[in-house]
Amino acid sequence: MSLLKKLLKDKDITSLLRGLSAGFLVKISALGIGFGVQIVLARTLGVEEYGIYVYVMTFVITLVKISMLGSDVGAVRFIPKYQVEEKFSAVKGFIFRSTQVILLLSVLAATGLVGYMFWDYGSSAHPIFLCFLFTLVLVPLRAVVNYMGAVLRAFGKVVIALGPITVFIPGILGLVVSIFYFLDQPLSARNALFIQVGACIVVLVVLLISVWRTVPGHIKSTVPTYENKVWLLTCIPFGLNLFFVFLNQQLGILLLGSMADMTQVGIYNAANKIVGLIVFGQSVINLILAPKMSELYTKGDMKQLQKNIHFVTRLNVAVSSPIVLLLIFFGDYVLFLYGEEFTEAFVPLIILCSSYFVAILTGTAGWLLNMTGNQNTTIKIMSAALILNVILNFSLIPSYGTIGAAISAAVTSIFWNSSFYLFVWLKLRIRASIF
């Protein structure tokens, strides 16, 4: 109790807690809606059609990550900087150039994916190929939606940025799917993807109007200038980091879809979504802590940085431990919410729980490397992790299916989080753990 009182008297810690409470309120609503939508989708579509939907959407988000090229991180970094420096033409130039690059890359990526899937399935009438046709629209839509959200965050409009993306899109999808569910009407993966397209169009319109109203008139009226080289050199490393993290987490789904069947994709995704609850608190805490880490490192205040890291890691463990215990003892009941067939994911769920808890113990290490100028180190670690992940998945999925995918994901996650912890200690002499 005395330790808690001492920590609460620390102005730095209390500032963090105020930020965390606001962040949790925003994120927890999105988490609840997203989790509920996944359950309604799984129950309405059935395990195989749900697997097809998940398979296609995982490709969509993967290509969106590639197409963004780190421009979302760049927007949050450059737009406020240029406004302080009164380089308003550079603000306009950054927004214009990023949008152009995102649109070009997303269209090329989606076209390439559809071409590959046509070759892979061998027929334009194959039901899964017909679902992949939606990526021609969904990839550019989601990429621009995500980027417009980043622009709004850069101008300080966090709620307006996050609300439509994290609440409206899943909310519209969940509402329409729920109508089909309660009317006991059949719904296919293609129908769900069509609804997703409609939801994205609605949100894109809302975000474009919000961006137009948010950007000051003096920026809109200026002639844009471009610092392409600076932007690329800054954005690409951050973009690669985010992409590698996402791909390592979703690789099992992508390879199960190509090496096994859509039923296993659906089952594995249920486990993957549920264990995401473990790191929910960590993701919010890290998001708010990241700027503070950078600030303290720049000031050279390593003592306060170490104190913050210890406090936040312990908070992560305190928040996440009950969820881990809940899933270990009652995970099969949680899976049953998706449908009876999904209880087969219990063993993968337990395997993934172990790796996610290790991530909690060392969870700030990756962010700490990125926020202290060591993003190239994280790229190397995540590249090695991706190679290990591919080797393990190709070795284990053919024989063990979803369990093989879970083992691959767990081993890889433990590898990269342990590596992050080690390099934080070697480079910064910071212990990114509870000890």
Of 226, 261, 284, at which residue does a domain stop? 226
- Is residue 289 situated within a structural domain? yes
The verdict on 319 and 415 lying in the same domain is yes
- Is residue 299 situated within a structural domain? yes
CA separation, residue 18 to residues 2, 103, 278 (Å): 21, 38, 22
The token pair that represents 316 in the structure block: 């992560």
The verdict on 196 and 283 lying in the same domain is no
Q: What is the model's pTM?
A: 0.87
CA separation, residue 243 to residues 145, 148, 334 (Å): 17, 19, 29
- Is residue 28 situated within a structural domain? no
The verdict on 368 and 312 lying in the same domain is yes
pLDDT in tens, 107-140: 999 999 999 999 998 888 899 999 999 999 999 9
The verdict on 185 and 308 lying in the same domain is no
The verdict on 174 and 251 lying in the same domain is no
Q: What is the pLDDT along the chain (435 residues), one digit of tens a residue?
A: 444 454 445 555 555 555 455 555 666 777 788 889 999 999 999 999 999 999 999 999 999 999 998 898 888 888 888 888 889 999 999 999 999 999 999 999 999 999 999 999 888 889 999 999 999 999 999 999 999 999 998 888 877 887 788 888 999 999 999 999 888 888 999 999 999 999 999 999 999 999 999 999 999 999 999 999 998 888 888 788 888 888 988 999 999 999 989 999 999 999 999 998 887 766 666 655 655 666 677 677 788 878 878 777 787 788 888 888 999 999 999 999 999 999 999 999 999 998 888 888 776 787 778 767 777 888 899 999 999 999 999 999 999 999 999 999 999 999 998 999 899 888 888 887 766
- Is residue 312 situated within a structural domain? yes
* Burial class (CB within 10 angstroms; exposed 0-12, middle 13-18, buried 19+) of 184: exposed
Of 226, 249, 283, at which residue does a domain stop? 226
Of 226, 252, 276, at which residue does a domain stop? 226
The verdict on 205 and 345 lying in the same domain is no
The verdict on 214 and 260 lying in the same domain is no
Element (H, E) at 328: helix 302-336
pLDDT in tens, 126-185: 999 999 999 999 999 999 999 999 999 888 887 788 778 888 899 999 999 999 988 888
- The predicted structure's pLDDT at residue 18: 54
- Is residue 212 situated within a structural domain? yes
The verdict on 323 and 178 lying in the same domain is no
The verdict on 156 and 256 lying in the same domain is no
- Is residue 374 situated within a structural domain? yes
- Is residue 20 situated within a structural domain? no
- Is residue 124 situated within a structural domain? yes
The verdict on 200 and 329 lying in the same domain is no
The verdict on 311 and 370 lying in the same domain is yes
The torsion of the CA quartet 20, 26, 27, 33, rounded to 10 degrees, works out to 160
Total count of domains within the chain: 2
- The boundaries of the domain holding residue 171 are 36-226
| E runs forming strands in 87-140 | none
The verdict on 307 and 173 lying in the same domain is no
